[in-house]
Structure 1
């Protein structure tokens, strides 16, 4: 059975991959972030493969919010994420050490300010 026998084309030109058939192309990896009902920020909950952004969002909803615990979902292609390396943490974060005004000990609290 050839790949041509396993894939049929839709009118839009998108291939219809039948269950159990592995296409010769792999779907991109998406990272999934969910914001909970009580949370103010999105939290990384996992990863999934999907053919496009729309399907990634729907699959993430079905996979990671089954009990209605989320109010918002972000899906981001993993290859679109730029991150620092843990091996480079010292040179990457060291520049903030020379900005002493960012540390609370830099400021003197006046005597007439209560409860600080």
Structure 2
């Protein structure tokens, strides 16, 4: 008579020398990739970073993001991006990264007067 086990939550599964049991390492949630979630609240507004989540794949990440971050119809569009795919500058590199634009005076309208009848400048 074979032995039985309920391992894996599948009920009584026969095991023993006459029944081969293949052991596979299961991928647990902590091994899932981290995704960053961006939601656009209304049409025409930029996507805003709202949080992070772990998911086994891209499709599940979109579904999980919808369930977590748009429960009250806050969004019209969701972006999920693997955190490992994001490249960002460091705050320590602020001066070397952004200082070159300071010496380009033509980018700033400080050398001419704006007419009174031009709104929103």
What is the TM-score when the length of structure 2 is the normalising length?
0.70
Q: Quick check: which has more Rg, 1 or 2?
A: 2
CA distance in 1: counterparts of 2:30 and 2:69, whole angstroms = 25
Unpaired runs of 5+ residues, structure 1, are: 9-14
Give the corresponding residue for 1:97.
102
Which has a greater percent of strand? 1
Tell me how large the CA RMSD over aligned residues is. 2.7
Give the corresponding residue for 2:87.
82
How many residues end up aligned between the 2 structures? 98
Q: Secondary structure at the match of 2:64?
A: helix
What is the TM-score when the length of structure 1 is the normalising length?
0.73
Give the corresponding residue for 2:72.
67
Structure 1 stretches of at least 4 aligned residues deviating more than 6 Å after TM superposition: none
Q: How far apart are residue 104 of structure 1 and its match?
A: 1.5
- Of residues 23-32 and 71-80 in structure 1, the stretch that sits farther from structure 2 once superposed is 23-32
Distance 1:58 1:101, change over 3 A: same
